[in-house]
Amino acid sequence: MERIISIFTSLLIILSANAGSIKVVTTTMDMKSITEMIGGNKVSVQSIATGYQNPHFVDPKPSYIISLSNADLFVTVGLDLETGWSPQLLSSSRNSKIQKGSTGYVDASNGVGLLQVPSSVNRGEGDIHIYGNPHYWLDPLNGKVIARNITDGLERVDPSGKAFYEANLNAFFIKIDLKMKDWGAKMAPFKGTKIIAYHNEWVYFERRFGLEIIDFMEPKPGIPPSPSQLVKVIKEVAADKIKVIISSPYFTTSSSDVVAKQTGVKELTLATSVGAFNSIKNYFDLFDYDIDQLIAALK
Amino acid sequence: MFEMFHLPFMVQAFAAAVITGILLSYLGVHVVGRGIVFVDLALGQISSLGVAFATFIGTGLTSIPLIFTLSGALLMSFINIRDKRLKQEAIIGILYAFASALTVLLISKTAHGDSDIQEVLFGNILSVSWQQITSIGIVFGAILLVQLIFFRKFASLTQSFENGVNHMIGIFNIWNFLFYISIGLAIVFAVKINGVIPVFSYLIIPAVSAIMLSKNKTVVLIIAIIISILAGFFGLNFSFHYDFPAGSSIVVVLGGIFILASVYRIISGTVNKEQTNHNIH
């Protein structure tokens, strides 16, 4: 009997080892999606923020700390996107494997060509992101850098799986390049199109797909639209024949509604993360969705 | 029920909840007695104003909010109303609205100042460190010690507010001033760890529930403190087992205790009435 049990438990251990034995916690859904593509069935991944939540503000729950304390790998978007909550959760987890600088800590922003890095740190001037704009995953080519960083992390905590991760990374690179051709072709007719955005999170997307964001609904990042800003935007919409104002699921549309009513401009809520809408299941879906929506609105 | 104590961060959260709960529920009995329940929101808001101001000038993120709050407390201790048509609460309410609006104006000229304010308003009890717990332990212990040594002074002061003879205490009364400083200090430190709404609830709900349950002043104080500890324990348990944000879970449990106390009060009230009716017949 004891023998049967021991065979059974060792079988269970083997089985569970196959079904994602490496526990990964990511801060956002985009990091989760890419980790799953690289780690395949060797990993089980959990994201702390949901896709429709503003990643700057996350209300901590006990389960976040519990999953962090059991994690083998932690993936963060980095810069100062999650400063309000992730360092505190990490230290509460007391998991030495995933603290900053440990082998299980992955800062996905390593090596990303950052935009809007302020020359002097003066918060009053709107230079809030002291390391540069942290919404870099919205450029699909930065997805490659993220994937490389995650692959390195997985190889550090599971050296035996190196070949497997490298193969998946290659497949990811190939798919990104293929999809990028498709996305680029779709967006090509709209190169140089002027649009307005609610918050300054689209700079990487804008750069990659040749759009031109001429102004933001927010007078400064994080500050709700003021009356004078609304007047300014309404004038700009008329002067530059702006067709669309883009926003994210976690911002209120009330102020863009005002502009839309006055000018007839279209309001578009784009996804900033995987899971923002039900149809966006992975990192590729994210760009498929946003680009299809944009094209439909700009036509 | 005690599984949560296997996790160090839950033990820390409970320690912080007990320390803040005991002091706030004690001070709450005075606050409710004086009829100044807005004092917490007003001082909390003045503290946020301090954060907004510090962010605006780019320095003093820890000292300025403290200075602002203590000045606000000092200001409030001077409020001495002789006109019976006016209540102290109204003046404190005005301070609250004024500080809120000033905060909004300052933030509007400070990019992402709101993220600092958010941190002040929504403290996170789940990631409190032992270092923080020790520092509030010392500060709150000192406040409580002063309160207990001069228990009679503070009690008779609150009594004068309850009896409506508070204008007799004069413009500057050292005990009134000390009381407001205690409240100010307690709120600045407690809000950083618990957030504004949990602090407000800890201050008001145990006191109100205890007053409903007993007429004896000492018993009221003891019940209030017990309620605050129970709420910390069951609130964190609730948060732990069903995975809810901790601060709001504690507030919900406090709310539940208040409802239970009200029901008890209503039932015992009708029973008493029936008994009196019975006696008359």
Mean pLDDT of chain B: 86
User: Residue A16 pLDDT more than 50?
Assistant: no
Residue to substitute from B104, B122, B127, interface A, most A β-carbons within 10 A: B127
Q: Which residue of B has its CA nearest to A92?
A: B127
3-state secondary structure of A126: coil
> CA-CA distance, B180 to B95, in Å (whole number)?
15
Decide: residue A20, CB within 10 A, 0-12 exposed, 13-18 middle, 19+ buried: middle
Check B9 against A94: CB less than 8 A apart. yes
The answer to whether A56 faces chain B, any CB pair under 8 Å, is yes
3-class SS of residue A109: coil
Residue A120: per-residue pLDDT: 58
Res B212 pLDDT > 50: yes
Question: Taking a C-beta distance cutoff of 8 angstroms, is the pair B237, B5 a contact?
Answer: no
Any chain B CB within 8 A of the CB of A116? no
Q: Above pLDDT 90, what percent of chain B?
A: 42
Q: Which of A12-26, A129-143, A210-224 has the lowest mean pLDDT?
A: A12-26
Burial of B276 (0-12, 13-18, 19+ CB in 10 A): exposed
**For A42-98, what is each residue's pLDDT tens digit?**
999 999 998 888 888 888 889 999 999 999 999 999 988 888 788 889 988 989 999
Measure in Å the smallest separation between the Cα of B88 and chain A Cα atoms: 34
**A contacts of B245 (beta carbons < 8 Å):** 59-61
CA–CA min distance B202, chain A (Å): 20
Tokens encoding B41: 């929101």
Mutate: best of A88, A230, A255, partner B, most B CBs <10 A: A88
ipTM of model:
0.70
pLDDT of amino acid A224: 76
Q: Exposed, middle or buried by CB within 10 Å (0-12, 13-18, 19+), for A179?
A: middle
Mean pLDDT of chain A: 87
Pick the residue with more confidence: A242 or B108? A242
Whether A69 sits inside 8 A of B7 (CB atoms) is yes
Contact (CB<8Å) B127/A60: yes
Q: What are the helix and strand counts (H, E) for chain B?
A: 11, 0
- What is the number of other CB atoms lying within 10 angstroms of the CB of residue A296? 11
The arithmetic mean of pLDDT across residues A110-129, rounded, is: 68
Please give the residue of chain B at the shortest CA–CA distance from A225. Answer: B108
Q: What residues have CB less than 8 Å from A229, skipping those under 6 apart? A: A217, A218, A219
Name the pLDDT band for A292 (thresholds 50, 70, 90).
very high
Query: How many CB pairs lie under 8 A apart between chains A and B?
Result: 82
Per CB-CB distance under 8 Å, the chain A contacts of B120 are: none
The confidence band for B186, taking pLDDT boundaries of 50, 70 and 90, is very high
Which whole-number Å values give the CA distances from A248 to A31, A78, A142, B92, in the listed order?
18, 20, 20, 38
Q: What is the mean pLDDT of residues A262-269?
A: 88
Looking up tokens 């820390």, which residue turns up?
A: B12
Model pTM score: 0.79
